Amino acid sequence: MKRWLLIVAAAGIAWLAGQVHAHKPSDSYLTLSVESETISGQWDIALRDLDFALGLDANQDGEITWGEVRARHADIAAYALSRLRLGPATAPCPVKVTQQLIDDHSDGAYSVLRFTATCAAAPKTLEVGYRLFFDLDPQHRGLIRLEYRGATRAGIFSVDQPEQKFTLTQLSRWEQFLDYGKEGVWHIWTGFDHILFLLSLLLPAVLVHSTVAGRGWQPAQSFRATFVDVVKVVTAFTLAHSLTLSLAALGVVSLPSRLVESAIALSVVLAALNNLRPLVYGRRWVIAFGFGLIHGFGFASVLSDLGLPQDALLIALVAFNLGVEIGQLAIVGIFLPIAYALRSSGFYRRVLFAYGSTAIAVIAFVWLTERALNVQWIGA
Amino acid sequence: MQFSFPLWFPTSVAILCAAVGATAAPHLPIDDAQVLERLPSRTTPQFRELKVLQAAAAQAPNDLSRAVALATAYVRASRVEGDPRFLGYAEATLAPWWKDPAAPNAVLVLRATIRQSSHRFDDAVSDLNLVLQRDPRNAQAILTRATVLTVQGRYEEARADCDRLGRVAPQIYGVICAAAIDSLTGRAGSAYDSLERALLTLPRIDGAARVWGETLLGEIAHRRGDPAAEAHFRAALAVGDRDLYLLGAYCDWLLDQARPGEVLALLQNETRVDPLLLRLALAQKALNRPEAGQSIDALAARFDASHARGDTVHQRENARFELALRGDPQSALRYATADWQVQREPADLRILAEAAAAAKDAAALAVVRTWLTETGFEYPAIAALAGDRRLAAK
């Protein structure tokens, strides 16, 4: 009868052809991000697989609890890391686990290992050796995603292909410069708060505030005077935000981002309100400079999100800043001729200037309440 | 409408990125008692047997009989749990012999079973050919080869194996094997009758043979539009063994009968098994249940993950998903066509016909009509979809 046990089992198996892959098979997900000689990584490994290898379910009740996983963190890290090699076999980069978390994928819970590896020098090609679970489950696959300088590459490790080599194309200095410059332009064009602040200060540039009470804003008489006014505002804004951007990027000063973002919103509100009830008009460059300092901190947080290359810090900083200025000048270049041409019309003064400034103030006030939410002294 | 595999390569990187990135956020659980993952039951006799076999094999990894016993248990577990991991474990257990083209027969039979499950049908057949050269009366090898050949649509060779099987195994296996092929080649009526009679009269019918036989009767009745299908599926379920294929086949019948409520009840707790989750989602959609969205998202994530690892074993389900749940006939037809290059089972033909009809693809419909004509396969619903009035009326 024993002979038929096998045939019965196999009858079902064979007959299930095409249906056997009912579950997702075993995969792990490895993400590496290379930043000169430092590699930071995240490795998601299914708890199911770790249980088969290490026996996580300590009390054998068929349920893996967080406590059971936590108790084995050291074993999990040691098991996984001994099966991963970053760098050449002769001189692998030492890897240290920084954090172990849990994530839910479509097919169950995964242990998430976050780690950093420090290589002797910035690798030109990164060799990765992967042997996780291949001895226990040759159908296991390691899916790798490598991020380097904004580009992402993918690969699959299998028992037949446990080694992969990634060429880390070194961008030339000039390419790096262009990259960060583009980011700067892009940031000012997509950063509506900066644009609205600038517009609030530029809207009155083609007008003159009459000293005669009750006459309000009148069209400017000369393009020269208007141009000088614009140059003063833009230059002041540029100087100020370049200063704080540099200080923040170099780590000299740092401010909490909610404070910075709220202050930026406030600066837009005040600049727009100043058009409706002018407190400062002749010397708007002073506003531009004062608040420009705050906007610089905003730019700096974008730059730090992009990741500053330690080997080319100055290049990145200068390029990003130049990008911001170019983006800003483009806005001025489009705005100024149109505004100057329209300055005498009622449409400009009543609709664009008055309603425009009101709309900007309202939008910025909404930002302010959003960004400052829970901050008592601003009083949302 | 030929589907070419290299089409996948340019998109694979993007899919992989999506799959690697598309998860919830990693977090730190707060409570030590929080259950993160549920494993297959550890209290069953099968699990205890597995533990014993694991321990025995661990003591002597190069002992052939211990390795074969453990690998067989793993293959069985993969079938019960529907988890392909167990096939990987079986492969690892057989590592000392795995790469040997002339491995011992017991290893070759298991290797063929594991290879066919990842759709390496030709490799599986060549392993089995070698076994049967050495041992022409190896029932296991004959049955597995008959099955693989059937999936490939090589009916004549498969039918010869069924005849051989009847001489070396309990007769019922030969009858079921033959009925399965006859029902695909224009003799559904006589296959049904002889199988039904055999299940009533033959001696030595164990539970597994009964489940297999009754499920097959249910499927033949389903295709012929015979309401007797229900009684057969229920007879198979009554045997009591967990059988994922049977559940899927019964739910397909229920869905065709517009009885999605029963599918919901049957599959509520089977969401880990992709083909069953697919049927659950179809039932939920038919009932306008809000959970349908969740099930569809989960399926999409699993198909993405499967593409990311380069698997193509899910194409039949993927096609059905695209057609019935995503409403994308073009995409469904691409998957169904690729699937048809590899597998030729009734379900593969049906999704090909459905996708082709929905996409109004004349060339693909012609493939379906040609197949029906050449094999004599009786499936009026498919014939109607393919626009063959003569076969549809049969």
* Residue B325 confidence class, pLDDT cut points 50, 70, 90: very high
Q: Which of A5, A21, A32, A45 to mutate to test the interface with B (most CBs of B within 10 A)?
A: A21
Q: Cα B1 to the chain's mean position, in Å?
A: 25
pLDDT for the residue A42:
96
Mean pLDDT (chain A, rounded): 83
Across B140-147, average pLDDT: 92
Give which of A91, A90, A110 is closest to A27, Cα–Cα: A110
DSSP A161: B
Q: Which residues pair with A35 in a beta bridge?
A: A38
What does the DSSP 8-state code read for residue A27? E
Residue B156 near chain A (CB below 8 Å): no
Greatest C-alpha distance within chain A: 112
- Spatial neighbors of A136 by CB under 8 A, at least 6 apart, are A52, A53, B88, B89, B92
- CA-based nearest distance A169→chain B, Å: 18
Q: Is A13 within 8 Å of B244 when comparing Cβ atoms?
A: no
Contact indicator for B280, B267 with CB cutoff of 8 Å:
yes
Q: Is the pLDDT of residue A14 over 50?
A: no
The answer to whether B188 faces chain A, any CB pair under 8 Å, is: no
**Taking chain B, what is the end-to-end CA distance rounded to the nearest angstrom?**
29
CB contact under 8 A, B243 and A12: yes
Looking at residue A1, what is its pLDDT? 33
**Per-residue pLDDT at A56:** 94
> pLDDT band for position A364 (50/70/90)?
confident
Our CA dihedral for B245, B247, B248, B249, rounded to 10 degrees, sits at 90
Nearest CA-CA distance, residue B390 and chain A, Å: 31
A-contacting residues of B 297-336, CB under 8 Å?
A: 298, 301-302, 305-306, 308-311, 313-314, 316
Residues of chain B neighbouring A57 (CB-CB closer than 8 A): 39, 42
| pLDDT tens digits, B327-348 | 999 999 999 999 999 889 999 9
Cα distance between residue A139 and residue A130, in whole Å = 14
Under 8 Å between Cβ of B331 and B358: no
* Chain B nearest CA to A281, separation (Å): 49
Confidence of residue B187 (pLDDT cuts 50, 70, 90): very high
DSSP H stretches of helix in A203-312: 223-249, 257-276, 284-306
CB A41 within 8 A of CB A116: yes
Quote the minimal CA–CA distance from B386 to chain A in Å: 24
Q: Does B148 touch chain A (CB under 8 A)?
A: yes
One-letter amino acid at A187 equals H
State phi, psi for A56 to the nearest 5 degrees: -70, -30
Closest CB to A22 among B95, B275, B301: B275
The pLDDT of residue A308? 67
> What is the DSSP track for A318-347?
HHHHHHHHHHHHHHHHHHHHHHHHHTTSHI
β-bridge mates for residue A32, sequence order: A41, A146
Cβ count near B249 (within 10 Å)? 23
Using a CB-CB cut-off of 8 Å, the residues of chain A touching B43 are 62
Q: How far is B235 from chain A (nearest CA, A)?
A: 17
Task: Report pLDDT digits (tens) over B236-292.
Answer: 999 987 888 899 999 999 999 999 999 999 998 888 888 899 999 999 999 999 999
Q: Which residues of A188-218 are buried (b: 16+ CB within 10 A; e: fewer)?
A: bbebebbbbbbbbbbbbbbbbeeeeeeeebe
Q: What is the DSSP pairing of strand A27-35 with strand A141-148? A: parallel
Domain ranges of chain B: 314-394
> For chain A, where are the E strands, in sequence order?
27-35, 38-46, 63-65, 84-86, 95-105, 108-118, 125-130, 141-148, 151-157, 163-167, 207-209, 217-219
Among B20, B272, B312, B313, most A C-beta atoms within 10 A, so best to mutate, is B20
Q: What is the pLDDT of residues A83-137, one digit of tens each?
A: 999 998 888 999 999 999 999 888 889 999 999 999 988 888 899 999 999 999 9
Alpha-carbon span B394 to B382, nearest angstrom: 12
| Residues B194, B179 contacting (CB under 8 angstroms) | yes
Write B326-331 long-range contacts (CB < 8 A, 24+). Answer: B326/B296, B329/B355, B329/B358, B329/B359, B330/B359
- Which comes out higher in pLDDT, residue A208 or B300? B300
For an interface test with B, the pick among A31, A47, A106 (most B C-beta atoms closer than 10 Å) comes out as A106
User: What per-residue string of b and e applies to A273-285 under the rule 16 or more CB within 10 Å gives b?
Assistant: bbbeeeeeeeebb
Q: In this complex, how many residue pairs, one in chain A and one in chain B, have their CB atoms less than 8 Å apart?
A: 247
Compute the distance between CA of residue A329 and CA of residue A133 in angstroms, rounded to an integer: 57
Task: Please state, in angstroms and rounded to a whole number, the distance separating the CA atoms of residues B306 and B51.
Answer: 30
Higher pLDDT, A341 or A306: A341
According to the model, what pLDDT value does residue B377 have? 95
Rg over alpha carbons for chain A, rounded to the nearest Å, is 30
What is the value of pTM for the model shown?
0.68
CB contact under 8 A, B40 and A62: yes
A157: exposed, middle or buried (Cβ count in 10 Å: 0-12, 13-18, 19+):
buried
Q: Residue A380 — pLDDT band, cuts 50, 70, 90?
A: very low
Tell me the shortest Cα–Cα distance from B110 to chain A, in angstroms: 9
CB pair distance less than 8 Å for A20 and B79: yes
Distance CA A33, CA A144 (A): 11
Whether B87 has its CB under 8 Å from any CB of chain A: the answer is yes
Contact A107/B305, CB-based, under 8 Å? yes
More confident residue, A220 or B122: B122
Q: Which chain B residue is nearest to residue A154, measuring alpha carbons?
A: B13
A130 vs chain B: nearest CA distance in angstroms? Answer: 15
Higher-pLDDT residue of A149 and A337 is A337
Q: Could you count the other beta carbons within 10 Å of the beta carbon of residue A320?
A: 27
- In 3D space, the residue among B301, B359, B370, B304 whose CA is nearest the CA of residue B331 turns out to be B359
Q: How far apart are CA A203 and CA A357, in angstroms?
A: 8
Residues of chain A in contact with residue B23, where contact means CB-CB under 8 angstroms, are 44, 103-105, 110
More confident position, A380 or A363: A363
Per residue in B17-57, pLDDT (tens digit) is 344 444 458 999 999 999 999 988 788 888 899 999 999 99
**pLDDT(A68) > 90:** yes
Q: How confident is the model at residue B13 (pLDDT cuts 50, 70, 90)?
A: very low
What are the Cα distances from residue A338, in Å, to A285, A326, A333, B74? Answer: 21, 19, 9, 77
Helix or strand or coil: residue A378?
coil
